[in-house]
Chains A and B, each alone.
Chain A
Amino acid sequence: MKYALLIYSNADSEWESLSEADQAAIYDEYRVVSESPGVVDGLQLQAAETATTVRVQDGKALTTDGPFAETKEVLGGFFVVEADNIDTALALAERIPAARNGSVEVRPVVEM
C-alpha cells in the first residue's frame, strides 16, 4: 500500500533561532527518513507566508494571500511511502522531526 505522510509543523516554532548545528542535525534526520526503504517521494514546501489560495465562485476566481486555513500547524511537506501495512508507515512517521513539535498525518493514498 501507499501512504502519504503529511508533515505539519508548528508555525510558532522558531526555526530561525536554532543554531546552525541544530538545523543541520534536523536536516540530516529528514535526509535519513527520505532515504529509508519504501520512501518513493517527498517534498518540502516553502513557508506558509508564501502561500496563495484560489477559490472559484460563480465562475470567477478569487485569489487571496495566505494558506487555506489559518491554523497553528501548517503543512510543510510530505513523504510518500510504499509499505506493507500501516504499522510500517507509522514507524516512519515517528522518525520525522516535525512529529516532535508539530504532527504527522498518515493517509493511505488512493491507488488507481
Chain B
Amino acid sequence: MIEEVFRDEWGRVLANLIGFLGDFDLAEEAAQDAFAIAAARWPRDGTPENPGAWLTTTARNRAIDRLRREQTLARKRHLLVPEETHEEEVDDTVFTDERLELLFTCCHPALALDAQVALTLRTLGGLATDQIARAFLVPEPTMAQRLVRAKKKIAAAGIPFRVPPAHLLPDRLRAVLAVVYLVFNEGYGGDGDLAGEAIKIGRALVDLMPDEAEAHGLLALMLLHDARRDARVRDGEIVLLAEQDRTLWDHTRIAEGRATLDRALALGGRGPYVVQAAIASLHVEEETDWREIAALYVQLSRLTGSPVVELNRAVAVAEAVGPETALALLEQLDLPNYHYVESTRAEFLRRLGRDEEAAAAYRRALAGVTADPERRFLERRLRELEGAR
C-alpha cells in the first residue's frame, strides 16, 4: 500500500520540491528523506489524508534543516522566504502540481537526448539509476555520470524550470512527446516496466495539457500498442499481427486507447501521433482494413518525411494490393543497414515464391537484428525456406 502511494506520489512531490528549491540534488535528497520518514511512521500512525502534501511539507522541512546544517542558507535565495511548516498543519495549497514544469526542464533541447530520457525516468518516474542503466544497456556508473552531468548543466546553463512560453511551446512539446515515446519503445521491445512508465507519464501529460491533441494521440498510440503486448511474443519468438491470439489482447486497454484517440480527433488532432494511433486502432479491428491503413501511412509520410514510415506503408500495400507492388516501393527506400528493410523484403519475396532471393534477404536481416524474439522468428523463416528446397 505504502509502496503504491510512493510510486504514485514521487514525481509530483519531487517536481514540487525542485520548483521550490531550484536544485535537483537537494530536492532528491529531501524527497528521499521524507519517503523514509513516511515508511517508518505511516504503518504506526496511519497514512495521512493527503499523502502527497504531507510528503512535500516534510521534505521541504528536511531540506531547510539540511541547508541550515550546511550553513549555506544564505546562498540559496529561494529559501529565504519560507518558514518551516509543522507536518500536522499541512497546507494543501503548498502541494501544487509542477510535473509539467519538470518534464519540460528534463526535455530541454540544450540537454542531449539520452540525458533527457534518463532524467525524465529518474525524476518523474522515480526509477533508480541501476534500473535505468539496465533498460538502456549501459553500465550503471555511465548512467550515474549522465544524470550528474545533466543536472549540473541545468543549473550551470540556466535551463529554466517552467512550461515554455507560447512561441516555444510547439517545438518543446514535440521534444517531450518524443522522449516519452522513446521510453515506451524501449520498454515495448524489452522491459515491460518501462512501457508502463511511459504510459504513466503519458497519462499525466494528458491530465496536465488536456487541450493538446498530440498528447492524447501519443497516449492512445501507446495504449493500443501495449494492449497487444502479451500476444506479441510466443515461446520467445515474435508473432506477426495476423497470427496473434486475439484473446490475449487487453480489451480494456484497447477501449481506453480508442476513447483517447476519439478525444484527440475531437480536438482536431491530425498530427503524427494521432495518425499513428489511428493506424494502431485499425490494427485491432475485427477485419483489418489495409487500404485505409495504407492511406493513413501516406498521410503520415507527408507529415514526417520518414523512410521508416514508407517502409510501413509498403507492408500495408503488400496486404492491400500485393507483394509485387510493395516490393517496388521498397526499392525506392533510402534506409541503408536497417534490418527491417531486409526482413520485409524477405517476406515479400517469400510470398512471391522467389525463395532463393528471400533466403538471402533473411540472412542479411539476421546479420543486423539485435532482439532475440525477432532473431528466432527470422531463423525459423529461413529454415522453412531452406527445408523447402
With A and B bound together, what is the CA distance between A3 and B164 in angstroms? 20
| Inter-chain contact B160/A87, CB cutoff 8 Å | yes
List B contacts of A32 (CB < 8 A). Answer: none
| Inter-chain contact A86/B157, CB cutoff 8 Å | yes
| Inter-chain contact A87/B168, CB cutoff 8 Å | yes
| Inter-chain contact A83/B158, CB cutoff 8 Å | yes
| Shortest Cβ distance from B154 into A: residue | A86
List A contacts of B39 (CB < 8 A). Answer: none
Minimum C-beta distance from A85 to chain B (A): 4
B159 at the A/B interface (Cβ < 8 Å)? yes
B37 at the A/B interface (Cβ < 8 Å)? no
Task: Give the residues from 71 to 89 in chain A that come closer than 8 angstroms, CB to CB, to chain B.
Answer: 83-87, 89
With A and B bound together, what is the CA distance between A1 and B22 in angstroms? 15
| Shortest Cβ distance from B164 into A: residue | A87
A102 at the A/B interface (Cβ < 8 Å)? no
B208 at the A/B interface (Cβ < 8 Å)? no
A90 at the A/B interface (Cβ < 8 Å)? yes
Minimum C-beta distance from B244 to chain A (A): 46
User: Which listed residue (B156, B160, B164, B168) contacts A108, Cβ 8 A?
Assistant: B156
Contact with A along B237-266 (1 / 0, CB 8 A): 000000000000000000000000000000
Contact with A along B11-27 (1 / 0, CB 8 A): 00000000000000000
B267 at the A/B interface (Cβ < 8 Å)? no
B138 at the A/B interface (Cβ < 8 Å)? no
Task: Give the residues from 1 to 58 in chain A that come closer than 8 angstroms, CB to CB, to chain B.
Answer: 1, 3
| Inter-chain contact A90/B110, CB cutoff 8 Å | yes
Minimum C-beta distance from A2 to chain B (A): 9
How many chain-A residues does the 8 Å CB contact rule pick out?
A: 11
| Shortest Cβ distance from B167 into A: residue | A91
Minimum C-beta distance from B154 to chain A (A): 9
Q: If A87-B164, A87-B168 touch, does A108 touch B158 (CB 8 Å cutoff)?
A: yes
With A and B bound together, what is the CA distance between A84 and B160 in angstroms? 8
| Inter-chain contact A85/B159, CB cutoff 8 Å | yes
Minimum C-beta distance from A65 to chain B (A): 35
With A and B bound together, what is the CA distance between A85 and B158 in angstroms? 5
With A and B bound together, what is the CA distance between A21 and B144 in angstroms? 53
List A contacts of B156 (CB < 8 A). Answer: 108
Minimum C-beta distance from B51 to chain A (A): 33
List A contacts of B159 (CB < 8 A). Answer: 85-86
Most interface-central of B108, B157, B159, B160 (chain A CB within 10 A): B157
Minimum C-beta distance from A30 to chain B (A): 23
With A and B bound together, what is the CA distance between A87 and B168 in angstroms? 9
Task: Give the residues from 155 to 172 in chain B that come closer than 8 angstroms, CB to CB, to chain A.
Answer: 156-160, 164, 168
Q: If A87-B164, A87-B168 touch, does A1 touch B158 (CB 8 Å cutoff)?
A: yes
List B contacts of A84 (CB < 8 A). Answer: 158, 160
List B contacts of A87 (CB < 8 A). Answer: 160, 164, 168
With A and B bound together, what is the CA distance between A89 and B110 in angstroms? 12
Most interface-central of B110, B158, B159, B164 (chain A CB within 10 A): B158
Minimum C-beta distance from A3 to chain B (A): 8
With A and B bound together, what is the CA distance between A71 and B81 in angstroms? 50
List B contacts of A85 (CB < 8 A). Answer: 158-160
With A and B bound together, what is the CA distance between A97 and B160 in angstroms? 26
List B contacts of A106 (CB < 8 A). Answer: 157
| Shortest Cβ distance from B165 into A: residue | A87
Given contacts A84-B160, A85-B159, 6 further A-B contacts (CB under 8 A): A1-B158, A3-B158, A85-B158, A87-B164, A106-B157, A108-B157
Q: B: which residues have CB within 8 A of A? A: 108, 110, 156-160, 164, 168
Residue contacts A-B, CB under 8 angstroms, 10 given: A1-B158, A3-B158, A83-B158, A86-B158, A87-B164, A89-B158, A90-B110, A108-B156, A108-B157, A108-B158
Ordered nearest first, which 6 A-B pairs have the shortest CB separation? Answer: A85-B160, A1-B158, A85-B158, A86-B158, A86-B157, A108-B157
